[in-house]
Chain A
Amino acid sequence: MNLLHPSARVVDAATGAVLTPAMIDAAAAEIAGHPIVFLPMPSTVEAVARYLAALRLEKPVLLLDPDLDHTALIARYTTDQVHPDLALLLTTSGSTGDPKLVRLSRAAVLANAGQVADSLGITGDDVAITTLPLFYSYGLSVLHSHLLRGATVVLERTGIMQRDFWAAVGEHRVTSLAFVPSQYEMLRRLRFDPSRYPSVRTLTQAGGRLRTDLVTDFAARMDAVGGRMFVMYGQTEAGPRMACLPPSRLADRLGSAGLAMPGGTFTVEDGEVVYRGPNVMMGYAETAADLARGDDLAGVLHTGDLGHLDDEGFLFITGRRKRMAKVFGVRINLDDVERHFPVAAVAGDDKLHVFTSGEDDVRALRSKIAEWLGTHFTGVDVRTISSLPLLPNGKTDYRALEASL
């Protein structure tokens, strides 16, 4: 699979290590005997070499959070029967409690890398930097789209709240920064001023809906220096990107998720957004046997999002069919949370809010839930409540709980 353009560069900001063809060859030799590559994926050149080796050998690779224990997940999916089209396996939620995987074909991975590169106009002169984990679909798509066009990807691990990150942006003359909504909140706190980083031409946003006042704010900051801001929409199930809002239409289509990526189309069926395109997954996997399955979806993805299209095809997302929260860009099924903990769960802005009527230690419960989700504890808010509000039918009154936030 030709994801790696010969001119592409991958460099580690902290160590200066540069990815070489010899590193990929060596990694390929190490994994040659494995039918599936289970790959803990820190943002290092070694991990990227191993990932690219797996793609080159056409072995399915499952990317994992290097900070979590995946013994049970690996045991669950160990098999030597895998479908020949299968290239990439990603977890759906980042949640350690939910072992469901997304199965992406080689064709879908390549197609989406090209769609993103075309939508953003990525060229060999571009320099991206890791702002998100590479085992997370948005972070991975930044890597894919830049490698495909022969651009440079800088691997950085301290993150945007540290001086080392911004020093690397300057030193490597980074041109493009990708952030999820919680990071835009951080950037506002940092009073991000793009004129201090003149190489930066492009901001992208995905991983959940960004408040329109922040979209306007950051678009204006980029506009002031002749740069651009792209709002995008996607799901891991689409490899992951489905829509992009062109910067020229950002103001008059504020709040839109954008237009379908090149080669893709949207329809709205019974209120649900349905995407058709070459980047749609083969299907989910819930057992090792599923890894031998072919394409179950034929390029049609029912997103589970509710929305509408305007007369020019701009997509507007209005909600979710299932009860979901999105925390730091990661989807969390609220019903799953309630099955594992004695709480009522509702979604906030980039936060999971849970209500407990028990005597539990609130802080300990917060830590337990965050650990189970594999998310940061600041994404979980726990409140005690004397009794849960109920609807006449005896079900939890979630509207009342949301209103109390």
Chain B
Amino acid sequence: MTELQRLREAFRTALDLPADEPVDDLRYQDNEKWDSLAHMSLVAAIEDEFSVMIDTDDVINMSSFAEAVRILGKYGVDVK
């Protein structure tokens, strides 16, 4: 699986979304399943999947799928 596929899968698992649901355009405020609790699950899933430890500021800045891609780049994970 590519990094992009792994990140999509982490989003679907954490947000309880169906396997074929498109997630690339997801944003925190637009998705009712993506609330603070799901955000905890999401951050944990991303940390597990990519073996990174995400800083507090990055945790609270991760407000969209695109932001997650950008933030993972800071940790040396090239999502594409």
Contacts and interface: CB of A to CB of B under 8 A. Distances in A.
Contacts of B29: 158
B3 interface: no
B60 A162 contact: yes
Nearest to B38: A378
Contacts, number: 50
A182 B35 CA distance: 13
Interface in A110-162: 158-162
Contacts of A186: 36-37, 40
Interface in B12-53: 16, 28-29, 32-33, 35-41, 43
Interface residues of B, number: 19
A189 B41 CA distance: 11
Contacts of B63: 162-163
Given A363-B16, A367-B16, A378-B41, A162 B56 contact: no
B61 interface: yes
Nearest to A192: B56
Contacts of A165: 60
B76 to A, nearest CB: 21
A162 B16 contact: no
Interface residues of A, number: 24
A158 B56 CA distance: 16
Contacts of A161: 36, 39-40, 59-60
A155 B76 CA distance: 37
Sort A-B residue pairs by CB-CB distance and give the 9 closest, nearest first: A159-B36, A161-B39, A161-B36, A163-B60, A376-B37, A378-B37, A190-B56, A377-B16, A191-B56
Interface of B: 16, 28-29, 32-33, 35-41, 43, 56-57, 59-61, 63
Interface of A: 67, 158-163, 165-166, 182-183, 185-186, 189-191, 328, 363, 366-367, 376-379
20 contacts: A67-B32, A158-B28, A159-B35, A161-B36, A161-B40, A161-B60, A162-B28, A162-B39, A163-B61, A163-B63, A165-B60, A182-B37, A186-B37, A191-B56, A367-B16, A376-B35, A376-B38, A377-B16, A378-B37, A378-B40
